[in-house]
Amino acid sequence: MNERFVELQGVNKRFGTHPVLKGFTMTVGRGEIVGLLGPNGSGKTTTIRLINGAIQPDEGAISVAGYDPAHDGEAVRRMSGILTESASFYANMSGLDNLRFFAELYGVTDRRRPDELLEEFGLTTARNQKTGTYSTGMKKRLGLAKALLHKPDLLFLDEPTNGLDPEGIRMVLEYIVQFNRRYGTTMILCSHLLQQLEEVCHRYLFLQEGRVIEAGTLPELQARHCTEVRLEVETDLALGGDRFEGFAARRLSAGKVEFTLPGKAAVPALMRRVTQEANVYGAAMVGHDLESLYFKIRGVAAHE
Amino acid sequence: MNKQAIWAIARKDMRAIFANLQVWLPMAIVPLLLGVVMPSVIVGIAARVPMDQAGDFQKMAQWVGKIPLPGLAGDAAIEQRVVFLIANYTLAAFFLMIPLMTASVVSADSFAGEKERGTMETLLFAPVDLLSLFTGKVLAAFIPAVGLPLGTFALCGVAVNIAGWNQFGHIFFPQWNWLPLMLLVIPMVSLATIFITVFVSARVATFQAAYQMGGVLVLPVLLIVGGQVSGILMLGTLLTTATGVVLLVVNVLMLRAIMARLDRGRLFEGQIR
Q: How many distinct structural domains can be found in chain A?
A: 2
Given pLDDT bands bounded at 50, 70 and 90, which one contains residue A45?
A: confident
Domain around A267:
227-286
Q: Is B15 an 8 Å CB contact of chain A?
A: yes
Residue A58 scores a pLDDT above 90:
yes
CA torsion sign for A77, A82, A85, A90 is: positive
Nearest CA distance, A79 vs chain B (angstrom): 9
Asked whether residue A36 falls in the same domain as residue A94, the answer is: yes
Mutation target to probe the A interface, by most A beta carbons within 10 A, among B15, B116, B125, B130 is B125
Question: Which of A85-89, B106-110, B156-160, B236-240 is the most confident on average?
Answer: B156-160
Q: Is B6 an 8 Å CB contact of chain A?
A: no
B31-40, B76-85, B136-145, B217-226: range with lowest mean pLDDT: B217-226
| Among B residues 216-245, those touching chain A with beta carbons less than 8 Å apart | none
pLDDT (tens digit, 9 = 90+) per residue, A2-38? 688 999 999 999 988 889 999 999 999 999 999 998 8
Nearest CA distance, B25 vs chain A (angstrom): 18
**Mean per-residue pLDDT, B253-261:** 92
Mutation target to probe the B interface, by most B beta carbons within 10 A, among A90, A111, A158 is A90
In this structure, what CATH number is given to the domain that contains residue A143? 3.40.50.300
Cα B253 from Cα B247, distance rounded (Å): 10
DSSP code, position A160: T
CB proximity list for B93: less than 8 A, separation 6 or greater? B226, B227, B229, B230
pLDDT for the residue B55: 63
Nearest CA distance, A101 vs chain B (angstrom): 6
**Mean per-residue pLDDT, B70-97:** 80
Q: For residues A48 and A188, is the Cβ–Cβ distance under 8 A?
A: yes
| Among A residues 85-104, those touching chain B with beta carbons less than 8 Å apart | 86-93, 101-102, 104
Question: Is A12 inside any structural domain?
Answer: yes
Asked whether residue A217 falls in the same domain as residue A231, the answer is: no
Q: Do B122 and A73 touch (CB under 8 A)?
A: no
Q: Do A55 and B128 touch (CB under 8 A)?
A: no
Residue B46 scores a pLDDT above 60:
yes
Chain B residues with CB-CB distance to A73 below 8 A: 264
**Mean per-residue pLDDT, A215-230:** 86
- Closest of B147, B129, B146, B174 to residue B39, by C-alpha: B174
Asked whether residue A111 falls in the same domain as residue A162, the answer is: yes
CA B238 and chain centroid, separation: 20
- Strands A33-37, A203-208: pairing is parallel
- Strands (DSSP E) along chain A, which ranges? 4-15, 18-29, 33-37, 59-64, 80-83, 154-158, 186-190, 203-208, 211-216, 229-235, 243-244, 247-253, 256-261, 280-286
pLDDT for the residue A233: 94
Domain final residue, candidates A222, A238, A259: A222
Asked whether residue A99 falls in the same domain as residue A155, the answer is: yes
Q: Do A55 and B268 touch (CB under 8 A)?
A: yes
| Cα angle B133-B8-A108, degrees, rounded to a multiple of 5 | 105
Asked whether residue A237 falls in the same domain as residue A271, the answer is: yes
Nearest CA distance, B217 vs chain A (angstrom): 28
Asked whether residue A202 falls in the same domain as residue A235, the answer is: no
pLDDT for the residue A90: 92
Q: For a pLDDT cut of 90, what percent of chain B falls above it?
A: 27
Q: Do B126 and A53 touch (CB under 8 A)?
A: no
Asked whether residue A123 falls in the same domain as residue A235, the answer is: no
The torsion of the CA quartet B213, B216, B222, B223, rounded to 10 degrees, works out to: 180
Q: Is A53 an 8 Å CB contact of chain B?
A: yes
Chain B residues with CB-CB distance to A91 below 8 A: 117
Tell me the average pLDDT of chain B: 85
pLDDT for the residue B152: 92
Question: Is A292 inside any structural domain?
Answer: no
Question: Is A296 inside any structural domain?
Answer: no
pLDDT for the residue A6: 94
**Mean per-residue pLDDT, B149-178:** 89
pLDDT for the residue A304: 57
Given pLDDT bands bounded at 50, 70 and 90, which one contains residue A263?
A: confident
**Mean per-residue pLDDT, B176-190:** 88
Asked whether residue A74 falls in the same domain as residue A203, the answer is: yes
Tell me the average pLDDT of chain A: 89
Q: For residues A71 and A53, is the Cβ–Cβ distance under 8 A?
A: no
pLDDT for the residue B57: 65
Residue B186 scores a pLDDT above 80:
yes
Asked whether residue A9 falls in the same domain as residue A91, the answer is: yes
Of B122, B127, B129, the CB nearest to A87: B122
Q: Is B88 or B270 the better-scoring residue by pLDDT?
A: B88
DSSP code, position A129: S
pLDDT for the residue A301: 60
DSSP secondary structure, A56-125, as one string: --SEEEEEETTB-TTTSHHHHHHTEEEE-SS----TTSBHHHHHHHHHHHTT---TTHHHHHHHHTT-GG
pLDDT for the residue B53: 63
pLDDT (tens digit, 9 = 90+) per residue, A64-80? 999 999 899 999 999 99
Residue B233 scores a pLDDT above 80:
no
Given pLDDT bands bounded at 50, 70 and 90, which one contains residue B183?
A: very high
State the count of interchain CB pairs (< 8 A) between A and B. Answer: 76
A134-143, A261-270, B20-29, B56-65: range with lowest mean pLDDT: B56-65
**Mean per-residue pLDDT, B140-162:** 92
| Cα angle B112-B114-B115, degrees, rounded to a multiple of 5 | 65
Question: Is A167 inside any structural domain?
Answer: yes
Asked whether residue A193 falls in the same domain as residue A247, the answer is: no
Asked whether residue A184 falls in the same domain as residue A262, the answer is: no
**Half-sphere exposure in the Cβ direction for B70 (13 Å, CA):** 9
Cα A25 from Cα A291, distance rounded (Å): 23
Q: Is A58 an 8 Å CB contact of chain B?
A: no
**Mean per-residue pLDDT, A211-227:** 87
CB proximity list for A203: less than 8 A, separation 6 or greater? A1, A32, A33, A34, A35, A215, A216, A217
Domain final residue, candidates A174, A207, A222: A222
Residue B211 phi, psi dihedral angles, 5° rounding: -65, -45
Of A56, A82, A86, the CB nearest to B265: A56
DSSP code, position A53: T
Q: Is the peptide bond before B174 cis (omega within 30 degrees of 0)?
A: yes
Q: Do A101 and B12 touch (CB under 8 A)?
A: yes
pLDDT for the residue B142: 94
Q: For a pLDDT cut of 70, what percent of chain B falls above it?
A: 94
pLDDT for the residue A81: 93
Asked whether residue A55 falls in the same domain as residue A204, the answer is: yes
Question: Is A64 inside any structural domain?
Answer: yes
- Closest of B117, B145, B122 to residue A92, by C-alpha: B117
- Closest of B93, B87, B50, B91 to residue B69, by C-alpha: B87
DSSP secondary structure, B186-200, as one string: HHHHHHHHHHHHHHH
pLDDT for the residue A94: 94
